[in-house]
Structure 1
């Protein structure tokens, strides 16, 4: 009986320790740095055609930016990358827009304070406020806008690109953890239970 009680305390200690570790991990994930550069695209108007043009510009710019943000270590470096690629980004956006209407101008600029609402990326919460952003205005820029976080490169999450692979990876990881830790811990609890009844 004495050993069974000791086993129970050890088991409780392991469970509590694992729970506290998970809590710390979640808290770390919820912390969001303010060092971010966002993307905001204003469509010409709210017509179906202009909204489709906006979405195509969004996809083109998000994919291009993600390719160049993958290994950028800081917001300072990210800012330099965007500043040096503004002409290329504007040209890519123009190509999309002018495929539909070559009379619409496209303006691309990097602005210090642009107003944004709150956005959630999984456990990460980006609160509403004024943030640095790459702003794209199509034509009059009076239609609905779309935005995401370019640095860190989270725009592809909004577009659903890479989510399937990420979810599959998480599922595989959970399965591996269960295979590694589940049976061993279950067997340990079973031993405690058996000792209690035998005592």
Structure 2
């Protein structure tokens, strides 16, 4: 009986320690997000529903809007210019999305807003953005009750083609220059160059040459 009680106590202590560790890690991520969030603008698209056709439509609207925004802004737009463009072109972008959906056979309204919301931890190429609150351009399609899609609008890290998820060097430089170096290293997953040495080659090269007996 005592052994069973001790085992239950050990399991309980382990679970408490595990949960405290998870909680501490999450708090650290959220603290990091709070420091870097002022330099970042997310992009968030909510589908009308979880039906496969609505989910496919969400991705098509996403691609169309991102192409429109980036084409108008160009590559050198700042964070404030990006926000200003979205706010000043909100109505035209909504109408453009609705017209696009009607051409595809859907009569859904589109609502765009600049808001602040919570995002889970997300990886983009070799960059990892911690969970926390970020400012975001949110696009709601129809009822907006389906699975959502998100990315980083500024600096440009939105990948519409998952097979080409490589963060542009220009975006990395924007991030590096806009935040503390230690924070940048924490969100960057750039792999250090690894020099592979072949142990057999080392052994052969370091092995002393045999002495040739003299006649």
Q: Same fold (TM over 0.5)?
A: yes
**RMSD after superposition:** 3.5
Partner of 1:101: 106
Give CA-to-partner distance per residue, 1:71-119, whole Å, 9 cap, x none. Answer: 11x32222112112212321221123223222x22111111x1121111
Query: Equivalent residues in 2 for 1:16-31 (5 A)?
Result: none
Number of equivalences: 145
- Assess if the C-alpha contact under 8 Å between 1:106 and 1:139 holds in 2: yes
- Assess if the C-alpha contact under 8 Å between 1:56 and 1:96 holds in 2: no
Partner of 2:139: 136
Q: 2:161 aligns with which of 156, 159, 162?
A: 159
Q: 2:75 aligns with which of 65, 70, 73?
A: 70
Give CA-to-partner distance per residue, 1:138-188, whole Å, 9 cap, x none. Answer: 1111111111111111113x5248658x7xxxxxxxxxxxxxxxxxxxxxx
- Assess if the C-alpha contact under 8 Å between 1:60 and 1:92 holds in 2: no
- Output the CA distance in 2 between the equivalents of 1:145 and 1:163: 19
Partner of 1:118: 121
Change (3 A) 1:163 1:147: closer
Q: 1:38 aligns with which of 42, 49, 52?
A: 42
- Output the CA distance in 2 between the equivalents of 1:88 and 1:153: 21
More helix per residue: 1
Q: TM (normalized to structure 1)?
A: 0.60
- Output the CA distance in 2 between the equivalents of 1:47 and 1:163: 26
- Assess if the C-alpha contact under 8 Å between 2:114 and 2:136 holds in 1: yes
Gaps of 5+ in 2: 1-34, 169-204, 210-215
- Assess if the C-alpha contact under 8 Å between 1:107 and 1:136 holds in 2: yes
- Output the CA distance in 1 between the equivalents of 2:84 and 2:45: 20
- Output the CA distance in 1 between the equivalents of 2:137 and 2:90: 9
Q: TM (normalized to structure 2)?
A: 0.56
Gaps of 5+ in 1: 1-31, 167-192
